[in-house]
Structure 1
Amino acid sequence: MASLTVADLVVMRQLSCTPLAGDSGLDHRLVWAHVCELPDPWNWVGADELLMTTGMCIPKSAADQRDLVRHLHERGTAGIAIGDDQQAPPLHDEMFAEANRLGYPILSVGHSTPFSAIGRTVAVAAQSEQIIRIARLSKLYEATRSAALGEATLLDQISRELGFEVHVVDVEVHSEVLARRTRLPRDVVTAVVDEVGDRLDRLPTRLPVVRDERLVATTFPLPTHRKCMLVAEGPDEVELDAFVLLHSQSLVAIEVERLTRERERTDAAEEQLMRQIVDGALGFDAAEPLLEQLGLAHQQWAVLCFAVTQLPFARTVIGDLTISKMTMSTGEESYLLVADRDFDEVVSALRPTIPAIGVSARTTAITRLGDALRQARWALHAARADGSSLAEYSSAAPLFLPRTLSEAHFAARAILGDLIDYDAENQSQLVETLDAYLSLDRSWTETADQLLIHRQTLGYRLKKIEALTGRSTKSSADISSFWNALVAYRISRGS
């Protein structure tokens, strides 16, 4: 009975299955019978499977019942068996007409017949099918073992076993997660992200991805901490056995979680190495073999600087690109060291999300890492000052800012010297007040709230600043001088 059909259930009188519509589809073969009461059962039942329901998943309106039949037919299910126990709403003629048009069987199951009896009947008949499934599942687990041994990537192996190309996309950071010999086209990744939209908290169970009115992929969620979808690439909807799909999702999810934990450990080790080099705790001779392991020794490189809040995103995206790097954070800034060969790819990946990035001058001397960090931080302040998304430290910097620490110190003292000295002598906060006031676009309310002071106190401090410096907080020229001096002061202090 390996080729059991819907008609076979009907002729087994003990099962009390009566056709209500779709008689022309009674020859559909059955491989499984599955109970589902969710409002979207077509997402939970696979091809050649019989949906069994007490009627709770059946909508009330005629139009919705017609759509239910259409969705189940498009999914490739064998038919629907509805329990005759008055749980279902009234079934409309429109539902039966659609079933007859599509040749989609609708059965009524007598209330004395438990669904388990139908399930066992189908399971016994489909035993040979189950053996095939188990064999395929064994191959998938073997694929995982082989991938761990480096014979091929896990996704390459699974793609070969399933018969179509699969990828993993993080729809939160818009990147492809696990390495493959070939990557998804960028427009397909974008299409997957767009289709998911704002459903990150509850990823769709099954989601066709359409681009320019053309199906480009079918996606399934992964049970991972990262918001990942398993993407089956191709112009046809993927009809994947639910049993095999479930285990494929589990296998890939395990690999994603393992890789995530491994990267976290690597990020921590790289940060420790970078700090030791900057602090001088690790000499160049000791650092060189470690840099060689990272693929960063004897390379021209640059340091990128951006807000510390963006560091987790940067680590995730650069990790997904499998690009050699070192990262660290200090204060409100974070730093990313990459080889010059990877610079363009890294910047292209970061710029859409990170609003301002500063870039140091290129060098091959790791002994100049500390200088590179200061240059990158300097360039970041320049980018923020003129509203650009990327600024590179160079002799052609357009903002007339000082280019060395000694020049920065001199520029800051020339404008803010009296305020700095007054704060030191009186334990006041005039420089901090001026910085907050200009950073918040001279908003009295926001500045007072940030500094936790009264507006009257803010007014007193601003008058004191004007008296000590001889400059006005209302003059555009003086405001420009104040701002550039504050940028130089931040960098000269290493903040």
Structure 2
Amino acid sequence: MSNLTVRDLVAMRQLACSLVAGAAGAERTVVWAHVCELPDPWNWLGTDDLLMTTGMSLPAAADDQKQFIRRLSAAGLAGIAIGDDLQAPPFTHDMLSEADDLRFPVLTVGHATPFAAIGRTVAVAAQSVQISRIDRLSRLYDAAHAAPGDDTSLLGRLSAELGHRLHVVDVGLGSEVLRDAHPLDDGLVRQLQAGVSGRLDRLPPRMAIDIGPGTTATAFPLVTYRTCMLVAVGHADLEVDAFVLLHAQSLVGVEVERVTRERERTDAVGAELLEKMITGSISADAATTRLEQLGLTDTEWCLIGFDAPGLQTARTLVADRGFTFLSCSVGEEGYLMVTSSDADPAAELLGRHISAMGMSARTATSEGVPDSVRQARWALQAARADGGGLAEYSTAAPLFLPPTVTEAHFATRAVLGKVIDYDAANHSDLVETLDVFLSMDRNWTATAEKLVIHRQTLGYRLRKIEGLTGRNVKSSADIADLWMALITRRISSGQG
């Protein structure tokens, strides 16, 4: 660490620096000096940096000036040096008193002194520090490329080198990406998300999080495909070198991208296997062999179904949590296959981001995957009808739907058999018309527009359906029969 202090700079008469407030903090170390005219310099400078400014960023109001000094002090800056060239607004008594209370040095710099002179002075004093920084940086890269032991990870090795526990958080999903045995507290993750709310496309360069007495947590953005931040947690009196941390950010960003690409390849292989298991195009023995090759033990499984757009989110969340899973999309739905023991925590995790989910029975084996898909699909229909949430299939109470494909086919034929046969013989669309009509809550105008037909044509078709089924589309009981028959037909035929 450099031995140069604020008092040393003031003592160098050639620099023409005067200490106007915060004299009690004059022994603060100055590691670097940097010019910044942005309104939030605390986001761009780090611990022990001296802010040099013409004062353009200094607000004029007394309360705003006090807050400005508080933010600089909270960020750990060595002090602020303001050019005496009439660019800055007048210093208020409140600002100077606040600086005194915080022991935060406020300097003025003579208009004849270029900021470059102060910068060079600090740089010369810091040369000896650079040697130790380079040595530490070398150790950092050694830690990054070391062969990991049985229970170590990149984050673990970098954490040991930096003296702060490092975490990677996807602030969009609220998920810890490289999760280990010591994950962040959920409340801290929520604080981080709240702090970047509405700014996911441009994360703040630095964010301090209140974690409790004696402990600090600071988040920095990562350049990754996912919207991630690196969070450093440690003792408040233990400094993190901003220069070394910048390189750690780069190393961790590369690791996140590597893990993401590896997961994408694993997901593609798993999707191919699950699709074959669903369609029955792979034998049970072959499926078991493939599962073993993927490191998936032969156990009981559970399938969770949801709208297909949620598949990538589901994959990301369960992979971050370390669950064993397979996933794929079938038509308009996505399916996640997890072990029965992980079913509840996986559903809870997904429920924060996916509105409606259906869960199969928890006794699926590699041979019974097709039936589990139907169960999950039926449960999903019930969840949608209930306005969202999780619906779980039960063999004791199968959500008013037939529990087997044979019974589903029988129930469909009992209600819609004549309509299905009429469509097949006449190349008509009565079943589709009925489906759209009921899906649109019997709105004639909306149904006609979606089918691109006249209202009179719609009326003719509905009367034909009533004649073939013996049911009235104005009767609640008959509508219930027709609707459940449509759902059963759609699910049992794999249309979702």
Looking at structure 2, the residues matched to 134 and 437 of structure 1 have their Cα atoms a distance apart, in angstroms, of 72
Aligned to 1:144: 144
Aligned to 2:484: 484
Aligned to 2:38: 38
Moved more, 7-16 or 145-154: 145-154
Question: Match of 1:38, as an amino acid?
Answer: L
Q: What does 1:91-102 correspond to in 2, within 5 Å?
A: 91-102=91-102
Aligned to 1:327: 327
1:448 and 1:164, CA in 2 relative to 1: closer, same or farther beyond 3 A?
A: farther
1:461 and 1:40, CA in 2 relative to 1: closer, same or farther beyond 3 A?
A: farther
**2:34 is equivalent to residue 20 of structure 1:** no
Looking at structure 1, the residues matched to 376 and 410 of structure 2 have their Cα atoms a distance apart, in angstroms, of 20
Looking at structure 2, the residues matched to 136 and 212 of structure 1 have their Cα atoms a distance apart, in angstroms, of 29
Aligned to 1:374: 374
Question: Match of 2:403, as an amino acid?
Answer: R
- Give 3-state SS (helix, strand or coil) of 1:126's partner: helix
In 2, are the aligned partners of 1:296 and 1:339 still within 8 Å (CA)? no
Aligned to 2:55: 55
1:244 and 1:450, CA in 2 relative to 1: closer, same or farther beyond 3 A?
A: farther
TM-score (norm 2): 0.90
Question: Match of 1:247, as an amino acid?
Answer: H
Moved more, 253-262 or 185-194: 185-194
Q: What does 1:56-455 correspond to in 2, within 5 Å?
A: 56-146=56-146, 152-210=152-210, 217-233=217-233, 236=236, 239-363=239-363, 365-387=365-387, 389-453=389-453
1:457 and 1:188, CA in 2 relative to 1: closer, same or farther beyond 3 A?
A: farther
CA displacement at 1:70 relative to structure 2: 1.8
CA displacement at 1:445 relative to structure 2: 4.8
Aligned residue-pair number: 495
Looking at structure 2, the residues matched to 216 and 122 of structure 1 have their Cα atoms a distance apart, in angstroms, of 27
Gaps (5+ residues) in structure 2? Answer: none
CA deviations on 1:133-166 (whole Å, 9 max, x unpaired) are 2222222222221265766111211221222222
1:301 and 1:398, CA in 2 relative to 1: closer, same or farther beyond 3 A?
A: closer
1:441 and 1:149, CA in 2 relative to 1: closer, same or farther beyond 3 A?
A: farther
In 1, are the aligned partners of 2:214 and 2:237 still within 8 Å (CA)? no
- Give 3-state SS (helix, strand or coil) of 2:304's partner: strand
In 1, are the aligned partners of 2:215 and 2:233 still within 8 Å (CA)? no
Aligned to 2:474: 474
In 2, are the aligned partners of 1:217 and 1:232 still within 8 Å (CA)? yes
1:447 and 1:238, CA in 2 relative to 1: closer, same or farther beyond 3 A?
A: farther
Gaps (5+ residues) in structure 1? Answer: none
Looking at structure 1, the residues matched to 452 and 138 of structure 2 have their Cα atoms a distance apart, in angstroms, of 64
Looking at structure 2, the residues matched to 276 and 111 of structure 1 have their Cα atoms a distance apart, in angstroms, of 76
Question: Match of 2:44, as an amino acid?
Answer: W
Looking at structure 1, the residues matched to 459 and 208 of structure 2 have their Cα atoms a distance apart, in angstroms, of 60
Question: Match of 2:105, as an amino acid?
Answer: P
- Give 3-state SS (helix, strand or coil) of 1:407's partner: helix
1:136 and 1:391, CA in 2 relative to 1: closer, same or farther beyond 3 A?
A: same
Q: What do you get for the CA RMSD once the two structures are aligned?
A: 2.8
CA displacement at 1:260 relative to structure 2: 0.9
Looking at structure 1, the residues matched to 395 and 352 of structure 2 have their Cα atoms a distance apart, in angstroms, of 27
Looking at structure 1, the residues matched to 108 and 186 of structure 2 have their Cα atoms a distance apart, in angstroms, of 48
CA displacement at 1:369 relative to structure 2: 2.3
In 1, are the aligned partners of 2:218 and 2:232 still within 8 Å (CA)? yes
Looking at structure 2, the residues matched to 238 and 460 of structure 1 have their Cα atoms a distance apart, in angstroms, of 80
Looking at structure 2, the residues matched to 76 and 145 of structure 1 have their Cα atoms a distance apart, in angstroms, of 32
